């Protein structure tokens, strides 16, 4: 049994409820899709303002995440546009390719995007001139990642490539079998310590050695179970998060789990929360958005619940970001919600262009930056 690329993308984009048993119920635009909760009024206790907005390019069926380097933001769209923005001003804009499916990764020297044909394209950060191109084994849905050891790319067939950041030559590739049914998500690999961490179908978090791509250890975030193939889908869709020795990941129709990298990947704790939307760590808490739209704060040492905000039911809520003591998430109507870090109560709300915000908000200075599917990127600050 296979699900079409569009429907699989929608599974990730929408942040669907776990436990659905029919393809119709997996489609958020069908007549049987769960109705989004109406937003309830509240008294704002924090002032929010939009610092700037600019055009990035429509996302189509893909998920594009802005890349932030200092005060510079790089954005891309499905029609191939790639831009550098400083304080709301477009410094340069290039046609990177006829079409793009993933991005953006950036550092001080280069900007990386990828295409539905498996092309990985690098451009100079200062002027947008092409630097190099490489190819992977299938379309790329997850944004590439730049680290000290190179550029990591996960392709849609769950192969992982490491390229030299200077010239695009391939260092190694790690290939893993893909099950007949899986969620095709936009979660990127993560560089940490001596490893590249990658989430895979079947709920496995794998640490790959940076020298040769060999698996060093493997953690079970979820254990597939159920009577049907669909019930047994338990994939790590979003990127894992790292802080110090701790790495945490979440699985669709699975669990949230944290591991100790200093003890060979020993599991510290796990919780039965299904998520395909992303995580955030700070000094005390792990924040996670589940597939129904609830936002949790968990004790990062024990996994115990500290609070749960469940007033955004079925609003296809993004993964969280933590800024200045607030937790921000975005939804399918292009609204950014600010929650108190301490108790999860609503403290502010900001509208954008009304189109879905599918990617996790990114930190920008003391504020954040979001990109809508309609093609706009906005920098927002809460005080």
**CA angle centred on 12, ends 117 and 376, rounded to 5°:** 75
Q: What's the CA gap between 241 and 190, in Å, rounded?
A: 8
pLDDT band at 32 (very low <50, low <70, confident <90, very high): low
Q: What's the CA gap between 188 and 195, in Å, rounded?
A: 14
- Does 370 score more than 60 pLDDT? yes
pTM strictly above 0.85: yes
- Of 102, 101, 235, nearest to 181 by C-alpha is 235
- Of 250, 232, 233, nearest to 241 by C-alpha is 250
**Which positions ≥6 away from 186 have C-beta within 8 Å?**
12, 62, 63, 65, 102, 141, 142, 143, 237, 238, 359
- E strand or H helix at 12: helix 5-14
8 Å CB contact between 39 and 342 = no
- E strand or H helix at 192: strand 190-192
For 214-250, the pLDDT digits (tens) are 999 999 999 888 878 888 888 999 999 999 999 999 9
For 37-51, the pLDDT digits (tens) are 999 999 999 999 999
pLDDT band at 183 (very low <50, low <70, confident <90, very high): confident
- Of 319, 312, 302, nearest to 250 by C-alpha is 319
DSSP sequence for 296-312: EEEETTT--EEEEE-TT
Q: What's the CA gap between 193 and 210, in Å, rounded?
A: 10
- Does 23 score more than 90 pLDDT? no
Average pLDDT, the chain: 91
**Which positions ≥6 away from 255 have C-beta within 8 Å?**
203, 221, 222, 270, 271, 272, 273, 274
- Of 319, 345, 340, 344, nearest to 331 by C-alpha is 319
- Taking each continuous run of H as one helix and of E as one strand, the counts in the chain are 2, 32
- Does 4 score more than 90 pLDDT? no
- Of 258, 257, 256, nearest to 275 by C-alpha is 256
For 249-295, the pLDDT digits (tens) are 999 999 999 999 988 899 999 999 999 999 999 999 999 999 999 99
Q: Calculate mean pLDDT across residues 345-365.
A: 97
State residue 228's pLDDT score: 84
- Does 145 score more than 50 pLDDT? yes
Token pair recorded at residue 166: 């200077």
Q: What residue ranges define each of the domains in the chain, with the CATH number in brackets?
A: 64-184 (2.40.128.630)
- E strand or H helix at 9: helix 5-14
Q: Calculate mean pLDDT across residues 58-76.
A: 97
Q: 12-21, 26-35, 327-336: which range is least confident on average? A: 12-21
Say which DSSP state 289 is in.
E
């Amino acid at each position: 049994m296979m699900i079409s690329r569009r429907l699989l993308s929608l599974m990730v984009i929408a942040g669907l409820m776990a436990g659905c048993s029919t393809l119709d119920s997996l489609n958020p635009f069908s007549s049987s899709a769960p109705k989004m909760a109406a937003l309830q009024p509240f008294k704002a206790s924090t002032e929010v303002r939009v610092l700037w907005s600019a055009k990035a390019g429509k996302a189509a069926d893909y998920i594009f995440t802005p890349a932030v380097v200092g005060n510079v933001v790089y954005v891309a769209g499905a029609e191939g546009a790639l831009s550098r923005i400083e304080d709301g001003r477009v410094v340069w804009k290039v046609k990177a390719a006829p079409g793009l499916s993933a991005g953006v990764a950036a550092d001080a020297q280069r900007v990386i995007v990828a295409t539905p044909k498996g092309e990985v394209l690098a451009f100079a950060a200062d002027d947008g001139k092409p630097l190099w191109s490489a190819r992977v084994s299938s379309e790329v849905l997850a944004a590439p990642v730049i680290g000290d050891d190179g550029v990591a790319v996960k392709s849609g067939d769950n192969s992982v490539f490491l390229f030299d950041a200077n010239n695009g030559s391939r260092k190694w590739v790690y290939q893993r079998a893909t099950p007949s049914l899986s969620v095709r998500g936009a979660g990127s690999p993560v560089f940490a310590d001596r490893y590249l961490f990658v989430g895979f179908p079947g709920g496995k978090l794998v640490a790959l050695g940076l020298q040769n791509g060999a698996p060093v250890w493997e953690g079970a975030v979820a254990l597939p179970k159920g009577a049907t193939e669909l019930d047994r889908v338990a994939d790590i869709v979003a990127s894992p998060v790292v802080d110090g020795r701790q790495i945490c990941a979440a699985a669709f129709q699975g669990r949230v789990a944290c591991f100790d990298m200093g003890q060979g990947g020993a599991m510290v704790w796990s919780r039965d929360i299904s998520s395909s939307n992303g995580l955030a760590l700070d000094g005390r808490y792990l924040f996670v958005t589940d597939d129904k739209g609830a936002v949790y704060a968990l004790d990062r040492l024990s996994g115990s619940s500290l609070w749960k905000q469940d007033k955004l039911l079925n609003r296809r809520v993004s993964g969280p970001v933590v800024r200045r003591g607030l937790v921000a998430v975005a939804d399918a109507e292009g609204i950014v919600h600010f929650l108190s870090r301490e108790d999860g109560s609503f403290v502010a709300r900001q509208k954008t262009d009304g189109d879905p915000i599918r990617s996790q908000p990114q930190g920008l200075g003391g504020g954040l930056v979001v990109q809508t599917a309609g093609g706009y990127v906005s920098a927002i600050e809460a005080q």
